[in-house]
Structure 1
């Protein structure tokens, strides 16, 4: 009866209004890009003082935390810029290859911030820093070494990218969303279309967390792939997954502008499942019990997605089971 009641409520609930889209921007998305810009500014400044891993570690994590609040928004300016901030997954190992080549050649591009923007995306962003600061092939460097300059260049470049994203969202794309259906807006022809676009970001982000952030290191039962976990060198694999799910949940709450009891219950199960995981980098995943714990978390994330599809998607006229990758 409870599920029937919720389904009936969802069926007759009005579509979220343009105000909900505006609230999503004002309460979460734009402040998220503000925090990302501020955190990368601190990261860049810290690296200029000392580029050594121990000194850059805390601002690196703070900036990465800020990024995860907006990381799964692949729309507007973020659609093209996100990849140079977070080039992952990298199954072919382009990042270590690119970094190794730059270090071996002592590529002078690190002294030219504008030219550095043309460096391979595999040698830019958080995952390049993750490797330089934590992989023993790279992290044993001194202040006067080339690698130190490379860390500083990447950190500075991250801040530059964050500042551009902040500006483009605030000055341009936010207006595209909130003025959906207005004269000259060819991107979103109605307010509902803009709201549905944000809903798609929520669903696709949860799919990415379940299928890639958690699914990649799981691999197969016969062949787990712990080294494919996200940012495992800095122990962020679990942390990133939880931050991404929390960001999706918060966006769903604001977008729906009504209580989401089933989604809240599913979120509780996500945190419960995560509390049992012993290695936050998923490097113990070859152990059967450790693998099972990650699989339980993966299912809990999928349950959050299903709950959001029911409680937020149905009022939007989007049927449960919607796959953001299908173009349905």
Structure 2
């Protein structure tokens, strides 16, 4: 109730067009709250039973929750998101770091408070994916160091999720809502705030097309399926769809009216994704499977272009730089 009242007062005090407060209250803030809750549930489940089979369902729910806001890289998330999703890991830092912790029985692996200072390669969803699904990690026994490490990792991620929620709710949301107001050096006008959120939408779809799909596709002669996001957990295609839906949902919150062409483009993307046979994208040496995924990639780009034409162009918005663009 306090948060809702605060936001309402800020909205009344701010000259912002409706899209920014709606994006915050209808998508961004609930998204971070949802991830904090799911990460907390995963950490609690790990305290009860830290074995990999017992945690996989909760892990999948936490990853689902993350995708709602996972491609938003501004404010507290510009750097904070890296402790949740260190990916791509082109040099294999994550498995090597985890192997080192386990081999050395590193004390940091039993200390959630100290783990906040550990390498980001050993933190968050992709480090947990290795522990819960990786063939070289997931067979650990109850009471083992690896089991304690997973408890520490889930507690650390829950703390990071809470920090992101708090940072947005208590710090960055009021900055966005007061764009153009006295003393706001981050957003000098209403348009700047709107453009910053629009950039998150467009950059997310670009990352999905170029990185989430482009990396495993590789080239026709050399596909790279093990470069797919979260392939061990079998959710590479699911991530493509969830991030696309999140981008569409944020675009809808920013829009002054319905986005029927955008909705149709997303529906078409979901239809085409339904033809992909392997959710982990590990069958790309099959030319037919590769073609189906290339068509999905094209449709992600179509969705991006459609949002640009239906939302960005009428409002005079263009996408700027996003820190996720360099992933």
Name 1:223's counterpart in structure 2.
Answer: 222
Report if the CA contact (8 A) 2:273-2:296 is conserved: yes
Query: 1:119-198 maps to which residues of 2 (within 5 A)?
Result: 119-198=118-197
Name 1:66's counterpart in structure 2.
Answer: 65
**Equivalent residue of 2:70, what SS?**
coil
Report if the CA contact (8 A) 2:198-2:317 is conserved: no
What is the Cα deviation at residue 302 of structure 1?
A: 0.3
Query: 1:18-97 maps to which residues of 2 (within 5 A)?
Result: 18-97=17-96
State how far apart, in whole Å, the 2-side matches of 1:268 and 1:167 are. Answer: 34
Name 1:13's counterpart in structure 2.
Answer: none
State how far apart, in whole Å, the 1-side matches of 2:252 and 2:316 are. Answer: 17
Name 1:258's counterpart in structure 2.
Answer: 257
Name 1:201's counterpart in structure 2.
Answer: 200
TM-score by length of 2: 0.92
Name 2:7's counterpart in structure 1.
Answer: none
**Deviations 1:127-154 (CA, angstroms, capped at 9, x unpaired):** 0010111111011110111110111111
Report if the CA contact (8 A) 1:260-1:311 is conserved: yes
State how far apart, in whole Å, the 1-side matches of 2:278 and 2:268 are. Answer: 19
State how far apart, in whole Å, the 1-side matches of 2:226 and 2:98 are. Answer: 18
TM-score by length of 1: 0.92
State how far apart, in whole Å, the 2-side matches of 1:38 and 1:176 are. Answer: 24
**Range with greater deviation from structure 2 (245-254 or 108-117):** 108-117
State how far apart, in whole Å, the 2-side matches of 1:78 and 1:323 are. Answer: 17
What is the Cα deviation at residue 317 of structure 1?
A: 1.6
**Deviations 1:86-143 (CA, angstroms, capped at 9, x unpaired):** 0000111111111111111010112222211111100100000101111110111101
Q: Root-mean-square deviation (CA), in Å? A: 1.5
Report if the CA contact (8 A) 2:131-2:137 is conserved: yes
Report if the CA contact (8 A) 1:203-1:324 is conserved: no
Tell me, yes or no, if structure 1 residue 281 matches structure 2 residue 280.
yes
Report if the CA contact (8 A) 2:269-2:296 is conserved: yes
Q: Where does the alignment leave 5 or more consecutive residues of structure 2 unmatched?
A: 1-14
**Equivalent residue of 1:147, what SS?**
helix
**Deviations 1:193-248 (CA, angstroms, capped at 9, x unpaired):** 10000000000000000000011100111110000000000101011110000000
State how far apart, in whole Å, the 1-side matches of 2:291 and 2:50 are. Answer: 39
State how far apart, in whole Å, the 1-side matches of 2:74 and 2:234 are. Answer: 28
Q: Where does the alignment leave 5 or more consecutive residues of structure 1 unmatched?
A: 1-15
Q: Provide closer, same or farther for how the CA distance between residues 119 and 174 of structure 1 changes in structure 2, counting only shifts above 3 A.
A: same
State how far apart, in whole Å, the 2-side matches of 1:325 and 1:116 are. Answer: 28
State how far apart, in whole Å, the 2-side matches of 1:251 and 1:94 are. Answer: 33
What is the Cα deviation at residue 318 of structure 1?
A: 3.4
State how far apart, in whole Å, the 1-side matches of 2:321 and 2:187 are. Answer: 17
Report if the CA contact (8 A) 2:251-2:307 is conserved: yes
**Deviations 1:234-273 (CA, angstroms, capped at 9, x unpaired):** 1010111100000000110110131112211111110111
Q: Provide closer, same or farther for how the CA distance between residues 152 and 92 of structure 1 changes in structure 2, counting only shifts above 3 A.
A: same
Report if the CA contact (8 A) 1:217-1:227 is conserved: yes
Report if the CA contact (8 A) 1:65-1:243 is conserved: yes
**Deviations 1:48-79 (CA, angstroms, capped at 9, x unpaired):** 11111111011101111000000000000000
What is the Cα deviation at residue 325 of structure 1?
A: 6.0
Q: Provide closer, same or farther for how the CA distance between residues 293 and 324 of structure 1 changes in structure 2, counting only shifts above 3 A.
A: farther
State how far apart, in whole Å, the 2-side matches of 1:114 and 1:153 are. Answer: 9
